[in-house]
Amino acid sequence: MSVKLIALDLDGTTLNSKGRLSPFTERTINKTTKSGIHVVIATGRAQCSLPEDILNVPSIEYIITSNGAAITDMKRELLIYENCIGPKALEGVYNLLIQHDFMVEVFLKGKAYVEKHIFENLEKIGLPDSSVKYVRRTRQPYAGVLNMMIKNKEHIENININFGNQQDRKVMREKLKLLKDVTITSSMDHNLEIGGATTSKADALLELCKKLEISTEQMMVCGDSPNDEAMMKIAGLPIAMGNAKESIKRAAKYITGTNDEDGVALAIEKYVLK
């Protein structure tokens, strides 16, 4: 069955290790959309964190953000789908996080917030330098971010917890598993990402496929991290990046080049534009 929709993760997939969209990949995306195939970005990033390299590609019609919590129609600049964390579930998350002093990022209506005193001392968290620069560029400092979160508990798209210590991450993952009506995933080795009971890139893509009258068998996806696994499992053509985690490679039908080798463009040329 021919591919009619291609869903692409961003970091570690469509973007290279410098966080840029290569000219070759951009040309391939434009060529793909001109042939009548929808190209959709499906990222864990909040709307405010989307890079200019992606926003400047007019042929991209839809962008899924916050691990599937929102779909934006880019041509109309319109939010067409929302799947936030439930208010009751969010209270459970709040009661757990308030007991700790981890670096928590809250995604609310397309924006990303982090505790002000942590934002001012990011170097002490133990994150990679690239992550520190990314946070400074894309997050808004806020004094009392958890209180802000609970006051807006009907509109929280995603909660991202960053760890400088892997043991803390392991322990917190086990605690989060005990909470009801949330999903736990990750896109980086140093974080955990909390979404709603049915929030995932897969659920958002199912909604978009229904809107566009496209079968999941007609969908190709490219990804590299655990938060891509759900969409890999529903796609007719799941492609893992050469730099992907082993769980993603196992879920894929094919493995392409790395994100620094234009793996996305190579996969599209090989399996779609052949």
CATH of residue 217's domain is 3.40.50.1000
Query: Do 122 and 186 share a domain, yes or no?
Result: yes
Count of domains forming the chain: 2
Which of residues 170, 196, 222 is at a domain's end? 196
Domain hosting residue 159, numbered range:
87-196
Q: What is the DSSP code (8-state) at residue 83?
A: -
Query: Do 187 and 121 share a domain, yes or no?
Result: yes
Hunting for tokens 């909040």 — which residue is that?
46
Query: Do 147 and 77 share a domain, yes or no?
Result: no
Please, which residues bridge with residue 90 across strands? Answer: none
Query: Do 227 and 134 share a domain, yes or no?
Result: no
Query: Do 98 and 74 share a domain, yes or no?
Result: no
Query: Do 137 and 175 share a domain, yes or no?
Result: yes
DSSP string for residues in 27-71 = HHHHHHHHTT-EEEEE-SS-GGG--HHHHT-TT--EEEEGGGTEE
The pair phi, psi for residue 9, each rounded to 5°, is -65, 160
Question: What's the rounded Cα separation, in Å, for the pair 66 and 68?
Answer: 5
Query: Do 100 and 66 share a domain, yes or no?
Result: no
Hunting for tokens 């999903």 — which residue is that?
183
Which of residues 153, 176, 196 is at a domain's end? 196
DSSP string for residues in 134-196 = HHHHH-EEETTHHHHHHHTTTSEEEEEEE-S-HHHHHHHHHHHHTSSSEEEE-SSTTEEEEEE
Query: Do 78 and 131 share a domain, yes or no?
Result: no
CATH of residue 102's domain is 3.30.1240.10
Question: What's the rounded Cα separation, in Å, for the pair 209 and 80?
Answer: 13
SS3 content of the chain, % helix, strand, coil (to 5): 40, 25, 35
Query: Do 28 and 158 share a domain, yes or no?
Result: no
Query: Do 127 and 70 share a domain, yes or no?
Result: no
Predicted TM-score (pTM) of the model is 0.94
From first to last of the 274 residues of the chain, give the pLDDT tens digit.
Answer: 699 999 999 999 999 999 999 999 999 999 999 999 999 999 999 999 999 999 999 999 999 999 999 999 999 999 999 999 999 999 999 999 999 999 999 999 999 999 999 999 998 888 889 899 999 999 999 999 999 999 999 999 999 999 999 999 999 999 999 999 999 999 989 999 999 999 999 999 999 999 999 999 999 999 999 999 999 999 999 999 999 999 999 999 999 999 999 999 999 999 999 8
Which of residues 196, 229, 250 is at a domain's end? 196
Hunting for tokens 């492609």 — which residue is that?
239
